[in-house]
Amino acid sequence: MAVLVTGGAGYIGSHTAVVLHEAGRDVVVLDDLSNSSVAAVEALRALTRPDLPFIRADAADVDAVGRAIVDHGVDEVVHFAAFKSVSGSIADPDGYHRNNVGSTVGVVEAMRRNGVSRIVFSSSCTVYGEPTSLPVTEDSPISASNPYGATKVACEELLAAEADAGGLDVLLLRYFNPVGAHSSGDLGEDPRGTPDNLVPYLMQVAVGRRESLSVFGDDYDTPDGSAIRDYIHVVDLAEGHLAALDVLAGSDDEDVRDPSVGSTGCRAVNLGTGAGHSVLEVLAAAGRVIGRPVPHEVVGRRDGDIERIWADPSLAADLLGWRATRGLDEMLADHWRWQQRHPDGYGTG
């Protein structure tokens, strides 16, 4: 099977492309490199095949996506292409909506025109906002607390409507906080500008690229006062996308369109570990892995952040046969290996 991976040069997309290739799929990567680089494509090719097809294009460009589908015989899509910074979305909500929703509209239209029906969508636990109860299940209320989360809600609604109209079979993967890197140390997270997320920032501090990590708030109603998240290894996450594609490819319509989950052709699935770790716990674990404390200071809370969230991953186990297997120390050790080998990102090779 040929699978189109939009945003496939990005952090999660590139790791997923490797896992799909290793599973025997013909992978086609499409990315406009707005938050990735040619060096990331080269690293991806080194881990897969030297001639892995790469198309530099905007996923919102219906004609470009359509050509990729036709030229490479694509019959399934994994759609990652999107901006992903919470703080960035607060600064530019309109730009985030135009990019994230626009790319999804473009991909769906290209699929419709070319007879492709199976899509796995990169969603996020941000669609839940500040949860009213924990752990979060797929039936938890949708209440995005920032514009980034709102774009994911809008894309989910669009895909659900397309599925209801009979045009798509969709799995919406709502994943929690991806960290880590490929075990080789050759593929990892290389955010442009100042990292918005905890682990890439603290790793840049640890390698000497930045002076100190800001811990946003120590006055939350949590055991140590810092915010709690469900951290998941990026390779576990990538394997979840493979499992989702296998379900879509192997299930008949009656299986996919199971009314017991309240959807017709479109199902949401949490990908998380089911365990929450606080910011200070992650800092302590990183210190163990690195061998020294990571310089940090506590500052005020950050707009758009929530207090605590972690997943109930039981549906992923039941529907996809998937479970996260890598623990926090392994996530951080793999991320640190990548950062040590690439202290300035892919630019250092």
pLDDT, tens digit, 9 for 90 and up, residues 87-118: 999 999 999 999 999 999 999 999 999 999 99
Residue 222: how many other CB atoms lie within 10 Å = 18
Tell me the catalytic residues: 148
Is there a domain that residue 328 lies in?
yes
> Are 267 and 310 in a shared domain?
no
Residues 9 and 71 in one domain: yes
Count CA atoms closer than 13 A to 265's CA, side-chain side: 17
Distance, CA of 226 to CA of 287 (rounded, Å): 17
Same domain, 51 and 130: yes
Does residue 187 fall inside a structural domain? no
Whether residue 192 is contained in a domain is answered as: no
Instruction: Based on the fold, state whether residues 234 and 326 are members of the same structural domain.
Output: no
CB 221 within 8 Å of CB 166: no
Reported as a pLDDT band with limits 50, 70 and 90, residue 349 is very low
Residue 241: closest CA among 219, 216, 271: 271
Q: Of the candidates 271, 299, 327, which is a domain's last residue?
A: 271
* 305, 175: one domain: no
Helix (H) or strand (E) holding 206: helix 198-206
Model confidence pLDDT, tens digit, residues 169-228: 999 999 999 999 999 999 999 988 889 899 999 999 999 999 999 999 999 999 999 999
Strand partners, 2: 26, 74
CATH number of the domain encompassing residue 317: 3.90.25.10
Instruction: Classify residue 90 as exposed, middle or buried by CB count within 10 Å of its CB (0-12, 13-18, 19+).
Output: middle
Indicate the number of domains in the chain: 2
Residues 115 and 244 in one domain: yes
The reported pLDDT for the residue numbered 251 is 63
Lowest mean pLDDT among 105-114, 245-254, 299-308: 245-254
Among 101-105, 135-139, 200-204, 342-346, the minimum mean pLDDT is found in 342-346
Model pTM score: 0.94
Domain limit, last residue, from 253, 271, 289: 271
Domain interval for residue 134: 2-179+230-271
